[in-house]
Amino acid sequence: MKRGAVAVGKRVATAVLALAAAGLQGGCATAGDARDPIEGFNRAVFAFNDGVDRALIRPVAKGYETVLPVPVRAGVSNFFGNLADPVIAVNSLLQGKPADAVGDAARFIFNSTFGMLGIFDVATDMGLEKHDEDFGQTFGRWGAEPGAYLVVPIYGPRDVRDAAGLALNVMADPVGNVGHVPTRNTLTAVRLVSDRAELLPADKIIEEAALDKYSYMRDAYLQHRRSQVFDGRPPREPDAD
Cβ–Cβ under 8 Å, residues 148 and 36 = yes
Site string for another protein, 78-117 (x = CB under 8 A): ---x------------------------------------
**Segments of 78-147 assigned E as strands:** none
Cβ–Cβ under 8 Å, residues 40 and 30 = yes
Among 28, 31, 55, 181, binds another protein (CB under 8 A): 31
Strand partners, 151: 157
Residue 67 found at the interface with another protein (CB under 8 A): no
- Least Å from the CB of residue 3 to another protein: 39
| Cβ burial 201-238 (10 Å sphere, 16+ → b, else e) | eeeeeeeeeeeeebbebbeebbeebeebbeeeeeeeee
Q: Which of 17, 72 has the CB closer to another protein?
A: 72
Cβ–Cβ under 8 Å, residues 193 and 61 = yes
- Least Å from the CB of residue 24 to another protein: 21
Among 73, 106, 144, 174, binds another protein (CB under 8 A): 73
Cβ–Cβ under 8 Å, residues 151 and 49 = yes
Residue 25 found at the interface with another protein (CB under 8 A): no
The 8 Å CB, 24+ separation contacts for 122-130 are: 128/103, 129/103, 130/81, 130/85
Q: Which of 2, 233 has the CB closer to another protein?
A: 233
Residue 239 found at the interface with another protein (CB under 8 A): yes
Binding site for another protein (CB under 8 A): 31-33, 70-74, 77, 81, 130, 197-198, 201-202, 204-205, 208-209, 211-212, 215-216, 218-220, 223-224, 226-228, 232, 234, 236-237, 239-241
